[in-house]
Amino acid sequence: MVEIDEPVAVVASFHGGRIRPMSFRWKGRLIRIRRITYEWTKRDGLRVLYFFSVSDGKTLYNLSYETDTLSWHLQAVETE
């Protein structure tokens, strides 16, 4: 896994209390999420961080969503 920690623009669904990232833009490229492989949350006081391991079919990405800033970050990338 290569650490990235960069802000990214994400298209996500917020429905029924769940967050589902569907695609994101990184380095000018649109990456369509084919599968969410794992998700977890972390609490830091009142702030809640949502983490998602997602795949476009060949690369694994770790995304995070911060509820206090409503911002997404690409945390890491793992290529084959």
- Model confidence pLDDT, tens digit, residues 62-76: 999 999 999 999 999
pLDDT reported for residue 46: 86
78: nearest Cα among 63, 54, 61 = 61
pTM of the model: 0.93
For residue 25, what are the domain limits?
2-78
CB of 10 closer than 8 Å to CB of 63: yes
Band the pLDDT of 80: cuts 50, 70, 90: low
| Number of structural domains the chain divides into | 1
For 8-60, write each residue's pLDDT tens digit.
999 999 999 899 999 999 999 999 999 999 999 999 888 899 999 999 999 99
